Structure 1
Amino acid sequence: MRVLINAISAKMGGASNYLKEIAIQLASRNSRDEFVFLLPPERIPAIQSLFPGAEVIGSNQAGAGVLARLWFDQITLRRMIREKRIDCLFSSADFGMLKAPCRQVLLVRNSVYFFAMYLEQYGGRRPWKARLSDRFRRWLVCRSVTSADFVMTPSRAMLDELCRWVTVPETKGFANYYGVSHSRFSPRKFQEQKSGPWNLLFVSLYTDHKNLGTLLRGLEVLTRRGEDVHLSTTADPHWPAARITQSWVEDARLADSPLIRERVHFVLTDAAAAPKNLYAACDIFVYPSVVESFGHALAEAMSSGLPIIAADVATNRELCGSAALYFSPFDPGELAARVQSVIADPVLRRRLGEAALTRSRLFRWEQHVDVLLGCLKGEMSRFNNVVDKGEEALIAAK
């Protein structure tokens, strides 16, 4: 079987990390199947080093306009499939080929096109050209879903939101959780008593729906209440690329305010590959993001055995279950109260940390790639609801 993996959008963040993990898993299997990666030129060295046996082709189409990307996906890529005698196409980032000449598996992962909370809270604030582009892209994703043989999403919450816009039959659409590289993270030793400041951590790229402002306001509340709390985060509103967002000016003002500026520490690192020492150095992981298709950082925090406090939205609850405390997404006072409850109660901290470690076993790249390969071979029925069965087995093993 010859498989073409279309990953031309994997320039940074979660898409880049996903591509890396897929390459690692495929290389480890010593399969007779052949894989061709189509990706941004800057990602070629990394993928070649991880998967020397793969064919790698560079493309800058991710930076092209919508119409140029449409031409590439529908015309240029179709020609490439014929020339390279491809048997299966894996479209790994939302946009697929309409009426593909081979079996096609589509991964829909961009939550901002579909989640009601994003459209209600942030969509209307975007410039009209951006809103028009979003509508066209959403339409194109929906057409891609209709044309694909199988449709994967990283969570059930993402699939539910997608189904608000397009019909996805149960025979072709399903959730397939991403994994976490468990070997990168070591559970932190539990401390019943702690001296010094409490260290909060939030790992993410900066954008509007990551909801950093609520976390910063929560830190202000904690400071006024006399709590010795510091925040480390990779979500920096001063980041040059943040200038396209609607919230960066206000969030930068909050971060620089005299009350908390000495307590906020922006960490210069790739949020998709946050080093394990970031997690090891923190006491509580706080996740204010309100729109996610998965949430890699949540899985990493669970693998690190950290107590988690997360915004009360469907994806966060699906991933964390009882391994987190939740707060109303835009209520900094409730966020602060959850932090205080974890600080004050060592029994609660231990329970959340242990539950997180157990829960993290749900997220395995090996399982994700097993399901992907099954779909590429036309065997989706073997893996249908594999995530649900995995969770049932985990609960039964407790």
Structure 2
Amino acid sequence: MKIGINATILDDKPTGLGIFTLNIINQLADILDEKDELVIYTSVPSYFENLNVTVRKVTDSVQPKNGKKAGLIRFLWTQFMFPILFYRDKCDIMYSTTHHGNLFLTKKQVLTIHDLLPIKFPNQYMLQNLYFKTIIPHLIKKSPFLFTVSDNTRKDIVDHYHYASDKIGVIYNSYDKEHFYHHDEESFKERFGDYLLFLGASYPHKNVERTIKAFLNFKAHSENKINLLIVNRVNDYLDSVKNKFRSNKTFLENVKFVDYVSYNELPILYSNAVALIYTSMYEGFGIPPLEAMACGCPVVASNNSSIPEVCGSHALYIDPYDEMSIFQGMKQIVEDQKLRKDLSAHGYAQTAKFDWAQSAQNLYRELNNLHL
């Protein structure tokens, strides 16, 4: 079986979809039968130099770091260039690590739909919403099988697109187990004191505004000196949120912002936090809680979408749409030291349920079944 993998989502600083792509390909390359072959279509061939795979260089214009223009180019490349290369390389099956597929391929193609964010938040993802409404229905009609990253997203796909549940496989995300573990170094604690950690404030569904309001309410009812540390690259949305609180003294003194934390520093960031506050209104999977638990960081998390599936019984759950619920979660996690210790101790067991190698095995098994 010759598998062509559309990995055009990669650039030199991969985030969610890119990290999934790298890990799945790396693990898949390790477990392939000797009669099988991977052909990787990517603009960053250097990622795969040490793998026993064939790599086809794609134009750098498709890289996500190039913004919306790159999204259009990636779509056009997938429709017109990819099938030429795919047939030239005599691939048997196309696997896309994302929801980007070709409308004209007559051979089997399989997509990974990570979430339905563009459907659930159309004003936030207007172009993606158009794609998910007009293109995805045609792609999945041509796909004999789909993958997603959680049972919750599988249910979303079934409910919205009426695709058969037994034709959707779940291949969970995981995390780098050699990288994410508890660190004793306290560099972030030395800089910011005790802090609740909020990661990712790029879009409204991440719920940063309501979280800040809940934190300010908590500070108004507590003498605890804890801060709220928000880590996210500066963008227009985050700037607009900041402007709403400019006149609030507690906000200015106790809500701290960090533009960027390197991958190497992330485990220290988690390890130094009193807790991770993960109040997202929807996630296809949600990797930060998993990374946090691996570092011994207690997690306060939303009770919706796939998040309970990821965190199991080892998080303190809140209603992300209820500011008072977030406030109560913050109050409980800060004031209850035993709760923090229990969540920290038991979180490690939850992380063991997620493994890139197992996810790749599930993927490989289903691709084999399709090829037979």
- TM-score in same-fold range (> 0.5): yes
Question: 1:76: how far off?
Answer: 2.1
Residue 103, structure 1, aligned to residue 108, structure 2:
yes
Amino acid at match of 2:97: S
Aligned to 2:4: 4
Q: Deviations over 1:252-304 (max 9, x none)?
A: 54378431223233333368886211111112111011121111111111212
Range that drifts further, 24-33 or 172-181: 24-33
Task: Report if the CA contact (8 A) 2:211-2:326 is conserved.
Answer: yes
Which ranges of structure 2 fall in alignment gaps of 5 or more residues? none
Distance change >3 Å, CA 206–CA 256, structure 1 → 2: farther
Aligned to 1:224: 220
Question: 1:323: how far off?
Answer: 0.9
Aligned to 1:213: 209
Aligned to 1:94: 99
SS of 1:90's partner is strand
Task: Report if the CA contact (8 A) 1:204-1:234 is conserved.
Answer: yes
Question: Which whole-Å CA distance do the structure 1 matches of 2:360 and 2:219 have between them?
Answer: 45
Task: Report if the CA contact (8 A) 2:27-2:360 is conserved.
Answer: yes
Aligned to 1:19: 21
Distance change >3 Å, CA 310–CA 231, structure 1 → 2: same
Question: Which whole-Å CA distance do the structure 2 matches of 1:161 and 1:278 have between them?
Answer: 33
SS of 2:172's partner is coil
Q: Map residues 139-154 of structure 1 onto 2, 5 A cutoff.
A: 139-154=134-149
Distance change >3 Å, CA 48–CA 177, structure 1 → 2: closer
Residue 262, structure 1, aligned to residue 253, structure 2:
yes
Equivalent residue for 1:72, pick from 77, 81, 99: 77
Question: Which whole-Å CA distance do the structure 2 matches of 1:5 and 1:349 have between them?
Answer: 42
Residue 342, structure 1, aligned to residue 345, structure 2:
no
Aligned to 1:392: none
Distance change >3 Å, CA 175–CA 53, structure 1 → 2: closer
Amino acid at match of 1:10: L
Equivalent residue for 1:234, pick from 213, 217, 231: 231
Question: 1:150: how far off?
Answer: 1.5
Question: Which whole-Å CA distance do the structure 2 matches of 1:31 and 1:256 have between them?
Answer: 62
Q: Map residues 114-263 of structure 1 onto 2, 5 A cutoff.
A: 114-115=119-120, 118-119=121-122, 123=123, 131=126, 134-187=129-182, 197-204=193-200, 206-225=202-221, 226-236=223-233, 239=234, 242-243=235-236, 245=237, 248-254=239-245, 257-263=248-254
Question: Which whole-Å CA distance do the structure 1 matches of 2:318 and 2:277 have between them?
Answer: 10
Distance change >3 Å, CA 250–CA 227, structure 1 → 2: same
RMSD value, Cα: 3.0
Distance change >3 Å, CA 233–CA 133, structure 1 → 2: closer
Aligned to 1:324: 315
Residue 44, structure 1, aligned to residue 45, structure 2:
yes
Range that drifts further, 24-33 or 198-207: 24-33
Q: Deviations over 1:40-83 (max 9, x none)?
A: x3x333x1345364414223246547775554323321111110
Question: Which whole-Å CA distance do the structure 1 matches of 2:297 and 2:181 have between them?
Answer: 10
Aligned to 2:367: 376
Which ranges of structure 1 fall in alignment gaps of 5 or more residues? 382-398
Amino-acid identity (%): 20
Distance change >3 Å, CA 272–CA 171, structure 1 → 2: farther
Distance change >3 Å, CA 175–CA 111, structure 1 → 2: same
Question: 1:86: how far off?
Answer: 1.0
Question: Which whole-Å CA distance do the structure 2 matches of 1:319 and 1:133 have between them?
Answer: 25
- What TM-score do you get using the length of structure 2 for normalisation? 0.85
Q: Deviations over 1:137-179 (max 9, x none)?
A: 3321222222112211111111222222212213311322111
Question: Which whole-Å CA distance do the structure 2 matches of 1:227 and 1:216 have between them?
Answer: 16
Question: 1:248: how far off?
Answer: 4.4
Q: Map residues 298-317 of structure 1 onto 2, 5 A cutoff.
A: 298-317=289-308
Distance change >3 Å, CA 91–CA 293, structure 1 → 2: same
Aligned length: 358
Residue 34, structure 1, aligned to residue 13, structure 2:
no
Distance change >3 Å, CA 357–CA 333, structure 1 → 2: same
SS of 1:185's partner is coil
Aligned to 1:387: none
Residue 286, structure 1, aligned to residue 277, structure 2:
yes
